[in-house]
Structures are given as C-alpha cells and as structure tokens.
C-alpha cells in the first residue's frame, strides 16, 4: 500500500514540475502584429464560397530553448462566431531568443461573414474582439489558446 502511494505522489510531483516548467516557457512567448493575405474566392464541393487566407503571426521566443510546435488547429472568431478555420501546414520550431513567423493556412467563410454582419446590424454590437482560438500541440502536449488578434 505504501509503495502505491509513493508511486502516485512521485507521478503527481513530476506532472506538476512539467506543468510549471512548460508554463514558464510559454510565459516568455509574445505575439507581434498579425499580417493577413487574401486570395481569390473559391466554391467548395458543398457549394460554400470561401476565401483562402494566409495569416502570418510573428512569435517572439524570449526563452533560451527552442519551442517545438507539432500542430495548431483553430479558428478566427468575431465575438462568439467563427468566421474562419486555420491550421499550421507542417510542424515547426520557434527558435530560441528570436522572432519566428508562423504562417497559417485557412479559409474564411463568406456565409459566416454575412451572418456575422447581419448579427451586428441586428444587435448593434459593433466592437467585439477578433480572436484566434483553438489548440496547439508541442512535444506531444496539447493545450488550448485564446488570443486576441491585433492586425497591423
């Protein structure tokens, strides 16, 4: 019984240490101004019109170690409504003590934009946050994010 307790205590301590270390690294990562590049609209197989979008997000890594990114999946939201879906095309690493541009590929739903414009006109709520939220996977650990986007 005592061995079982020691095993779980050691496992809990190791998990806590990993969590604290990961949070310390994550706290030293900052975002620059987002750049957006639009392409010509296209019609998907289901008849939905979308606008291909490439988003470049500069990431500043102030850590002495590189930060690996296995995957990022997310969406662009205005208020609570999703306007676009995005993903990181391939795994990459954010170099130590430097700025790295993350380039996301995505599709902006023109129907989603029209629905959101209708909602804005109906509710008169013009100023809502533009957010990029989803999940990121680094070194096999998946965590959620919700980042307010500054476009410049």
Question: Considering the domain boundaries, does residue 117 fall inside one?
Answer: yes
Per the domain annotation, does 8 fall within a domain?
no
The answer to whether residue 81 sits within a structural domain is yes
On whether residue 12 sits in a domain, the answer given is no
DSSP state of 39: -
Tokens of residue 149, six digits: 């986007």
d(CA 2, CA 91): 43
Q: Are 140 and 87 in contact (CB under 8 A)?
A: no
| Residue-range definition of the domain harbouring residue 33 | 29-148
Residue 125: what are its φ and ψ, rounded to 5°? -105, 85
The answer to the question of residue 24 being in a domain is no
pLDDT digits (tens, 9 = 90+) for 75-120: 888 777 788 888 888 898 888 888 888 888 888 777 777 777 787 7
Structural domains in the chain (count): 1
Residue 48 lies in a domain: yes
Q: CATH number of the domain that 91 lies in?
A: 2.60.40.10
2 in a domain, yes or no? no
What predicted TM-score, i.e. pTM, was given to this entire model?
Answer: 0.60
pLDDT in tens, 44-65: 777 777 778 887 878 888 878 8
* Angle ∠(119,122,127) on CA atoms, nearest 5: 65
């Amino acid at each position: 019984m005592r061995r079982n307790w020691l095993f779980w205590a050691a496992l809990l301590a190791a998990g806590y240490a990993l969590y604290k270390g990961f949070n310390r690294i994550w706290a030293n990562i900052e975002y620059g101004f987002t750049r957006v590049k639009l392409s010509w609209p296209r019609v998907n197989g289901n008849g939905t019109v979308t606008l291909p979008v490439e988003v470049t997000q500069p990431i500043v890594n102030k850590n002495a170690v590189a930060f690996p990114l296995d995957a990022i999946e997310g969406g662009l939201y205005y208020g609570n409504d999703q306007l676009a879906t995005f993903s990181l095309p391939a795994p990459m690493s954010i170099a130590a003590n430097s700025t790295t541009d993350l380039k996301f590929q995505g599709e902006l739903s023109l129907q989603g934009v029209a629905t959101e414009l209708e909602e804005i006109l109906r509710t008169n709520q013009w100023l809502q946050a533009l957010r990029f939220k989803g999940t990121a996977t680094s070194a096999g650990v998946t965590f959620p994010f919700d980042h307010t986007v500054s476009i410049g």
